[in-house]
Structure 1
Amino acid sequence: MNPIEDLPLILEADQLVPLLGHEELLIVDLCNPRLYSQTHVPGAVNVAPQSMVSGIQPAAGKLPSVEQLEQMLSNIGYSENKHIVVYDDEGGGWAGRFIWTLDVIGHKKCSYLNGGAHVLLKEKKPTESTINHPEPTQVNIQIDDSFIASKDFIIDSLKDSDTVIWDARSAAEYHGEKVFSQRGGHIPGAVNLEWTLAMDHDRNLRIRSDIANVLEQLGITQNKNVITHCQSHHRSGFTYLVGKSLGLSIKAYDGSWSEWGNLPDTPIES
């Protein structure tokens, strides 16, 4: 029996430790490079979050070109046969963004190390300081846009009672009190739950065990089509991951508020 085959999406450190070194496991570290150079999961390869975004203003967080993604994946020794475990040092934003990216390219076998580096450091799990450089691989991917909500898709969904938009920004951004684009506020009808409120700060930033109930009170439920966003689809990487872990029908708006709030005619509430 292959122990890699049945790994859950939300993976605890104690589940990962016995599998370290398995040839079918690829561990992706999205932590600050300085932290990675000091300590990380044994065998993990560090990835710069900037390699996952286009960087083109104003909506710099949009999905990059296929060529850019293929280069990033080649650099980490990607193979469609490997089970990818992802973590970061901030509670899941960039890790969730990476898992969304894997969904977009059709990679099915992935897990999030619940709590990430906070669990490694505070619960004294095995680590190393070796800088890992995998042998580059040949990568050819195709984009599945069913996980992507475009601006036009959202506009078409605004009057759909079966769709709910999860805004992962701060309450101040949601209400237009703090503005990082030309216009402030939120998408009409969107509900707000800041991404960090889905974390358990007493359990080293693991996903809250009661998060399904919290979301249900906001109308984010199994019978809805969910779209999540933030300013640049970084924070909403985590909320996408949370929704995916709950089995929600969820897409991410990678243009996020940096696109919506910089357009002159998109509808806005505050």
Structure 2
Amino acid sequence: MSKPDSLPLLISSDELEPHLHQDNVLIVDMRGYDDYRHAHVPGAVHLDYADIAIAAPPALGALPPVEALAHDLTQLGLTPQQHVVAYDDRAGVNAARLFWTLSVIQHPGGFSLLNGGFLDWHETGKTTSNSQPTIEPCAYNFVYQSSTQADSQYILNNLDNPNVILFDCRSVEEYTGAVARAQRGGHIPGAINIDWLTGVDLNDKAKIKNTDIIRNTYETQGITPDKEIIVYCHSHRRSALTYFILKVLNYPSVRAYAGSWSEWGNIPTLPVDTI
């Protein structure tokens, strides 16, 4: 059996199956709790999305206080050495937000996202369970690192930096301001818009598409790996998946703006463009 450190960042149900019940693999279900109770991947623990993303008005998807996150991860039984495999039923956005969160704390144990989520696991005939594993809380101390984050001031400081690309992965209607979900509609000046769904195959269990196709789309529109990329959406849910995809594509320098448009669009002193 292969070691967990050989597990790919984007993992299939077939690839995950041999690693069930390994002590150094923690499977995390990020669907609703009722769905988890009904059936889940055997051995999976449940984590609520609200435990890793909180409202800190005007931002709707901020990181929780580090002490709160440490408590919640401790209650999962997560140790620094464990490889985390996460899944959801929302095209991967919840699981990807966990990936970004673990990147912020520089979790050393590794991460995989189950492509196609629980739907793929179930529809490929894999075993499911409705029993909840016994969890032994483990102390896990960490601090938030800045290398995978960008706040509004960081973005302001780099608006004219040719080596920094803003990647707006909302819908084109949000980007242009035709749909305004904040006090102001539009986008951060200079941002390139590619809808997050460009990377998702809605005809195949919302799996992430072929990476060569995604890479070509990104690079053709100016999202190139020689630049630092800052992703954002409205509350860093959709952009979390985009962040994950960029890491699958081996983009070396990627940050996420967790405040996203829910923050930027509600602060009148910040610049806005519309098309």
- Whether the aligned pair in 2 keeps the contact of 1:29 and 1:45 (CA below 8 Å) is yes
Q: Which region of structure 1 is more displaced relative to structure 2, 130-139 or 181-190?
A: 130-139
- Whether the aligned pair in 1 keeps the contact of 2:27 and 2:45 (CA below 8 Å) is yes
Rounded to whole Å, the distance in 2 between the matches of 1:172 and 1:131 is 42
Alignment match, 1:193: 194
TM-score by length of 1: 0.96
Alignment match, 1:269: 273
Rounded to whole Å, the distance in 1 between the matches of 2:32 and 2:234 is 21
Deviation at 1:133, TM superposition (A): 4.5
Cα distance change of structure 1 residues 155 and 124 upon mapping to structure 2, 3 Å threshold: same
TM-score by length of 2: 0.95
Alignment match, 2:174: 173
1:39 has 2:39 as partner: yes
Q: One-letter code of the match for 2:68?
A: Q
* 1:74-223 equivalences in 2 (<5 Å): 74-108=74-108, 109-209=110-210, 210-223=213-226
Alignment match, 1:28: 28
- Whether the aligned pair in 1 keeps the contact of 2:13 and 2:115 (CA below 8 Å) is yes
Q: Which region of structure 1 is more displaced relative to structure 2, 226-235 or 155-164?
A: 155-164
Q: Which region of structure 1 is more displaced relative to structure 2, 246-255 or 53-62?
A: 53-62
Alignment match, 1:260: 264
Q: One-letter code of the match for 2:8?
A: P
Alignment match of 2:254 (pick from 236, 242, 250): 250
Deviation at 1:3, TM superposition (A): 2.0
1:188-222 deviations in whole A, cap 9, x for unaligned?
11111222221112332121101111111111111
Deviation at 1:2, TM superposition (A): 5.2
- Whether the aligned pair in 2 keeps the contact of 1:166 and 1:192 (CA below 8 Å) is yes
1:40-69 deviations in whole A, cap 9, x for unaligned?
111111111001123222113111111111
- Whether the aligned pair in 2 keeps the contact of 1:230 and 1:257 (CA below 8 Å) is yes
Rounded to whole Å, the distance in 1 between the matches of 2:267 and 2:5 is 45
Rounded to whole Å, the distance in 1 between the matches of 2:196 and 2:132 is 31
- Whether the aligned pair in 1 keeps the contact of 2:198 and 2:214 (CA below 8 Å) is no
Q: One-letter code of the match for 1:55?
A: A
Rounded to whole Å, the distance in 1 between the matches of 2:165 and 2:270 is 17
1:237 has 2:240 as partner: yes
* 1:66-77 equivalences in 2 (<5 Å): 66-77=66-77
Gaps of 5+ in 1: none
Secondary structure, aligned partner of 1:211:
helix
1:150-185 deviations in whole A, cap 9, x for unaligned?
101111111111211111211111111111111110
Q: Which region of structure 1 is more displaced relative to structure 2, 1-10 or 199-208?
A: 1-10
Deviation at 1:138, TM superposition (A): 1.3
Secondary structure, aligned partner of 1:219:
coil
The runs of 4+ residues in structure 1 deviating greater than 6 Å are: none
Secondary structure, aligned partner of 2:230:
strand
Q: One-letter code of the match for 1:105?
A: I
1:228 has 2:203 as partner: no
Q: One-letter code of the match for 1:235?
A: R
Q: CA RMSD in A?
A: 1.3
